[in-house]
Structure 1
Amino acid sequence: MAALKKTLAAIPAGGTRRVYGTAYFDGSRWWANLNGNLIDARWLNAVSPKQDGPIVVDLTDNGDGQSSALVIDGYSDQPHPSTGAVLAIGVTQLVMTGADGVTYTTDRFSGSYSVGDPVYVAWDAATPIVLGKLPGITPTPPTSPPVAATPVKQSGTAKGAATKSNTFWGPGGWGSWAGGGEQVYSGTWSGNTVTGAWFYGAAFTNLGGKTITEIRFRLPKRLGGVGSSGSANVHLYAHTSKSQPGGDVTRTVGPWDVTVTQSQGAHWITLPLTFADVLKAGGGISIAGDPYTGFDGRLVDPQSGRIEMDWTA
């Protein structure tokens, strides 16, 4: 928060300073990410945020030691075109060239079109929306022949932050081990066995018909002073719970073992594709088994356990 505090301190009482950041959705609400600080901001109704998309934020000193943040819009390096021409027609997508000469693909359109039709375009964040044909306008033909009207191959990346993280200890239940706080532990210590888990709700249940090509999992910082020193072989599983159950989670795929060095910081690892079906059904990630070790939970690191899955359809 040091850099942000300096920014706030530089604003005169009752004054406003404009800063730039990115939008971040944690699975339940949107935040303004300003230099790594997640700020609870107000949003103008016209703003349609996109995960990690650039935003403009007005910070106002209220004059009584308090401050407020207002997200006034997103932005891009160049303005979006308001017109274009259809290049190709797929089953669920259109390929169009904008008046700026850039080619765009979108699944947001209404009406039916033919190759070459001039169209009116609106924008939702960085996504074009084709609203209809523009009668009486002759589009400039593209420099290359129109693409054949074949189905457009769809692909993308589904991203989701954990809605909860926690540790299960049999005698005390969830959140009763080592002070709770949604920290995530695994292994046996002084005869007590614990397991950890991350939960994602319905974040990935819309991927049912899509093929997953890669799964990335953000393993948070390993807790220092927990268990033996040196590297630890951590065992990851896929579990079947959308939210925290009454007892321990049911682990159905795994283990997938990764080596984590002493006090290693947060980093991305690639999970096997065998985890995909469980995650698409609403499941999550668990760690279980020795050696005894622990990791930062969601309350310490909002991106603890974050998942990104590349898909095609």
Structure 2
Amino acid sequence: MDGFKHTLESIPDGGTRRTYGTAYFDGTAWWANINGKLVGCRWLDPMQPLQGGNIVVDISNEGRGQYSALVIGGYTDQPRPSTGTVDTIIPAGVATQIVLTGADGIEYTTDRFIGSYSPGDPVYITWDAATPTVIGKIPSIATPPPAIAPPPAAVVGSGTTTLTAIGTDTFGVGGWGRWALSTQGREHIYSGTWAGTVLTGAWFYGAPRPELAGKTVTAVRFRLPRRLKAGNYNTPATVNIYAHNSSYKPRDDVARVAGPFTVTVQPNAEAQIINLPTSFGPIIAAGGGISIAGGDYVWFQSRLEDPESGKIDMDWTA
């Protein structure tokens, strides 16, 4: 409760702060649960909340101690697929449920569909309150062969590939997103040890980059975001940077397979570019990411506060 009070007090008159919570229905009305505080909100229309589902809330200070909250939507770690393929009709014949595999490779079961379908049908999907609705078959369109063969692609000798983090988080206290302001899906990044608790942070970049296959990485530039105030924040902090081999957030901590590359971060340091060893390049190109572990207790901005938190630029040659 006190944490939410401090959140309100930190918003200047006329200002708005974005925070994160979960939807809660008490049998009569929907509320936003923010750090254990049930808050009455307006809800962006149309929106179908899900009990316990993650939501994004904008809190505004209207002056004279008056505040308002607006739920602008829900969020997920990855986008919902818009297409899929029917796997099974339950029961066979007149369907009451459809089991399908989305374009993301994940299997879903739904009782919401328009029309009739058979196993193998490619379909369009829309989403309401984390539940898919099958809205139609994808028609097959024959593609005529090209009249003239295209010229061979030019061989590119060098270039730069930019990767933006699709996820950030802290592992500790038995899982991801359970420490301080990394909770409630806020994805803040901590590292080091505090009060006997060992913490590690990570940035994730998604699937491997096939365009980098066979390329030689000549430089790896990593954008370390702004250092926030945690622990001994008025003293320089040692930060150990590693490469890990997870494309997405695993169940347990990531496996750090290269490093550490150690840097010193000054108090109140703004975002800065770190030149990492080129040995990190092949690991990241294969779908890996960046982790910080050990060293001093530190806290950095998440990708939700800084969209370029953890951005990587890799120079390469063919």
> What's the TM-score, normalizing by structure 2?
0.50
Distance in 2 between the 1:153 and 1:219 partners? 30
Q: Does 1:218 align with 2:257?
A: no
Q: Which residue of 1 aligns with 2:171?
A: 168
Asked if the contact 1:234–1:287 (Cα under 8 Å) also holds between the matched residues in 2, the reply is: yes
How far does residue 263 in structure 1 lie from its aligned partner after superposition? Answer: 1.1
Q: Which residue of 1 aligns with 2:282?
A: 277
Asked if the contact 1:160–1:203 (Cα under 8 Å) also holds between the matched residues in 2, the reply is: no
Q: Does 1:267 align with 2:267?
A: no
Q: Does 1:245 align with 2:250?
A: yes
Q: Which residue of 2 aligns with 1:111?
A: 150
Change (3 A) 1:203 1:304: farther
Q: C-alpha root-mean-square deviation of aligned residues, in Å?
A: 2.5
How far does residue 112 in structure 1 lie from its aligned partner after superposition? Answer: 4.5
Q: Which residue of 2 aligns with 1:81?
A: none
Task: Kindly report which structure 2 residues correspond to 1:9-20, keeping only aligned pairs within 5 A, or say none.
Answer: none
Asked if the contact 2:190–2:298 (Cα under 8 Å) also holds between the matched residues in 1, the reply is: yes
Q: Which residue of 2 aligns with 1:55?
A: none
Q: Does 1:179 align with 2:184?
A: no
Change (3 A) 1:205 1:235: farther
Distance in 1 between the 2:308 and 2:178 partners? 22
Distance in 2 between the 1:236 and 1:182 partners? 18
Distance in 2 between the 1:209 and 1:157 partners? 14
> Over residues 153-195 of structure 1, what are the superposed CA-to-partner deviations in whole Å (9 max), with x where a residue is unaligned?
5211100100000000143x10110132101000000011100
How far does residue 204 in structure 1 lie from its aligned partner after superposition? Answer: 3.1
Asked if the contact 2:173–2:179 (Cα under 8 Å) also holds between the matched residues in 1, the reply is: no
DSSP 3-state at the match of 1:270: strand
Change (3 A) 1:174 1:112: closer
DSSP 3-state at the match of 2:181: coil
> Over residues 79-113 of structure 1, what are the superposed CA-to-partner deviations in whole Å (9 max), with x where a residue is unaligned?
xxxxxxxxxxxxxxxxxxxxxxxxxxxxxx95359
Change (3 A) 1:163 1:210: same
Task: Kindly report which structure 2 residues correspond to 1:113-262, keeping only aligned pairs within 5 A, or say none.
Answer: 154-171=157-174, 173-180=175-182, 181-202=186-207, 204-262=209-267
> What's the TM-score, normalizing by structure 1?
0.51
Structure 2 alignment gaps of length 5 or more:
1-77, 80-147
- Percent identity of equivalent pairs: 48
Letter in structure 2 aligned against 1:163: I
Letter in structure 2 aligned against 1:219: L
How far does residue 228 in structure 1 lie from its aligned partner after superposition? Answer: 4.4
Q: Which residue of 1 aligns with 2:3?
A: none
User: Where in structure 1 do 4 or more consecutive aligned residues deviate above 6 Å?
Assistant: none
Change (3 A) 1:215 1:190: same
Asked if the contact 1:205–1:282 (Cα under 8 Å) also holds between the matched residues in 2, the reply is: no
Q: Which residue of 2 aligns with 1:304?
A: 309
Distance in 1 between the 2:150 and 2:295 partners? 59
